[in-house]
Amino acid sequence: MDEQEMAATVARYWDELWTRRNVDVVDELFAEEYVRHSSAGTKVLGREELKREFRTAWHFLHDAVSTVDDQVVDGDRVWTRATTDGLNLDTGEPSLLTWLVVQRLAGGRIVESWNATLPGVDWRS
């Protein structure tokens, strides 16, 4: 994959999953064995488990719109700073989430990521 293809794959991740909520795209974007590193630890997920996790996350970010604010492709990794605006269904309050995500791609799919989320932080310029 060249840099443009990698950036396009990650752009689909943000648009299809976090804005359009199209869980079916998981099969196209992710390897069957995906490794996620986050503040909750490291977890290996299959596609079906990943789909369940997206559905759960969407409950807390209702009517969410995600924008990619900054992105860099370096080797087999895509570094993204993004913002998600939505509504928290539990509280009824607006929800803002800033993301710092590094996704490693292999064979045209996302195989690993390092995720940092910052609730209530707005780094858009």
CATH number of 3-119: 3.10.450.50
pLDDT in tens, 7-26: 999 999 999 998 899 999 99
pLDDT in tens, 25-35: 999 999 999 99
Total-model pTM: 0.91
Query: Taking the CA of residue 108 as centre, how many other CA atoms within 13 Å lie in the half-sphere pointing to its CB?
Result: 2
Rounded CA separation 111/72 (Å): 17
